[in-house]
Structure 1
Amino acid sequence: MNNSAKIRITVATAIISLVLTAPVMAHEKGDVLLRAGVVTVVPTGDSGVVSGLPDGVNNARVEVEKNTQLSLTAVYMLRDRIGLEVLAATPFKHDIVGKGDLEGVDVGETSHLPPTLSLQYYFGEKNSRFNPYVGLGLNYTLFFSEKVDGKLVDTLNTLPTVAHLGGVHSADLELDGSFGLAAQAGVDVQLKDNWYLNAAVWYVDIDTSATLKTDLGTSHEVDVAVDPWVFNVAVAYKF
């Protein structure tokens, strides 16, 4: 057995030992939990058809790709079993790629912040070190720092109607903010005293409208359903 395998076995054994020997402590009214970890946003939605393009370009769509950032969540227990959670993260940065008639084209990129407020219900009993929960809340997604990729500009300039007007030299992209519901499920696993390991997943309703404006005065719009699964793994401390 090599040293790397021995280290993995030792770490796993230590974690199991912590879980088995930790004093039992359920979340109760007045408790505050802070969780810090890593969160990944995986969009599942698609877009409508980009408007304002010439005849013959009838199926130009876009898709938002996944991104991973650092997460920070805070929970205040309003009463036994009932918690109020705020989810925050460092800004996500997503690439936007073309689909359909824009397949293979890098459209651009955007950053966003997705603060989410959820009311949670915890199922854990006082004799359990596992405290699963579900939650339902409201998400607001703010998009910013949108950029257009040069490959999209090059693609637009291959269109006869655009070339006839002298070609596109610059373009701006803007995405509207989004309000939507967020559903979640997760679990806190007590390690020792007030320390926990947390795993959680959300499904978030995020819909936005994207507008591309060129220096020719043309405007192209598309509705985008981002609708991501959000996966978070964190270490938590309860005060």
Structure 2
Amino acid sequence: MKKHLIAAVLCVLLSDATFAQTVEGPWLVRARAVHLDSVNGDSTGLGLAINNKWMPELDISYFFSPKFAVELVLTVPQKQTLTSRGTAIGSFKHLPPTLTAQYHFDPLGSGAFKPYVGAGINYTRFSAVSLPPGVDIKRSSWGPALQVGVDIPLTRQLSLNFDLKKVYIRTDVSAGGANIGTFKADPMLFGVGLGWRF
């Protein structure tokens, strides 16, 4: 009886060890280069626009299961030049952390590539605002974020990532203390980078 019990315990322990070796860890960290392409929607009548640019991005994902994950997107404050009808009138910095919930596919069942879709929320904080006297912008923005991407495994833990996000970022513009309209950046963000799963 004891021999059978010991054998059963050993089988469970060995199977758990094997399972732990074959299952990927729940954490995924990616470093991306991201291109920001602003819509530059403006209802002020001033023809406001910001420059498109490349910027660094770091994101941290946690997998609750092989298919469901949450991702927190981080970067450093980004400086943007603000123009009015093509003429530079000032600048500001923005910090846009984004949190998305994702569904990951494995269409071939072999891990050859893993596309995903996501949706979540963005919070953008504007700082270092330098605009003409009497002109100002609201310092924060909340908006939805949509995402689609793919991870292409290079090794057991390392993957190549392509990611596309639509983030809704907008701010009210005032002159002389009166609201004169809304500026909508609403950028499309294309990213490419590497991910490490552990």
Q: TM-score surpassing 0.5?
A: yes
Distance verdict in 2 for CA 1:111–1:81, change over 3 Å: same
CA distance in 1, matches of 2:116, 2:96: 21
Residues 135, 173 of structure 2: 8 Å contact kept: no
Structure 1 residue 221 displacement after superposition? 3.3
In structure 1, the partner of 2:4 is: none
Is structure 2 residue 150 aligned with structure 1 residue 187?
yes
In structure 1, the partner of 2:16 is: none
Distance verdict in 2 for CA 1:85–1:121, change over 3 Å: same
Structure 1 residue 68 displacement after superposition? 1.9
What code does the residue aligned with 1:33 have?
L
What code does the residue aligned with 1:105 have?
T
Equivalences for residues 47-126 of structure 1 within 5 A: 47-49=42-44, 59-98=45-84, 103-124=85-106, 125-126=108-109
CA distance in 2, matches of 1:108, 1:221: 17
In structure 1, the partner of 2:36 is: 41
Residues 35, 234 of structure 1: 8 Å contact kept: yes
- Listed one character per residue, the Cα deviations across residues 90-115 of structure 1 (whole Å, up to 9, x for unaligned) are 212111111xxxx2321211110111
Q: Structure 2: 5+ residue runs without aligned partners?
A: 1-20
CA distance in 2, matches of 1:141, 1:72: 16
Equivalences for residues 138-157 of structure 1 within 5 A: 138-148=121-131
Structure number with higher strand proportion: 2
Q: Structure 1: 5+ residue runs without aligned partners?
A: 1-24, 50-58, 154-169
Distance verdict in 2 for CA 1:173–1:26, change over 3 Å: farther
Structure 1 residue 219 displacement after superposition? 5.5
Distance verdict in 2 for CA 1:108–1:26, change over 3 Å: farther
> Secondary structure of the residue that 1:137 maps to in structure 2?
strand
TM-score using structure 1 length: 0.68
Distance verdict in 2 for CA 1:220–1:71, change over 3 Å: same
CA distance in 1, matches of 2:146, 2:81: 25
Structure 1 residue 232 displacement after superposition? 1.1
Residues 205, 228 of structure 1: 8 Å contact kept: yes
TM-score using structure 2 length: 0.81
Identity of aligned residues (%): 28
Residues 168, 186 of structure 2: 8 Å contact kept: yes
Is structure 2 residue 179 aligned with structure 1 residue 227?
no
Residues 26, 131 of structure 1: 8 Å contact kept: no
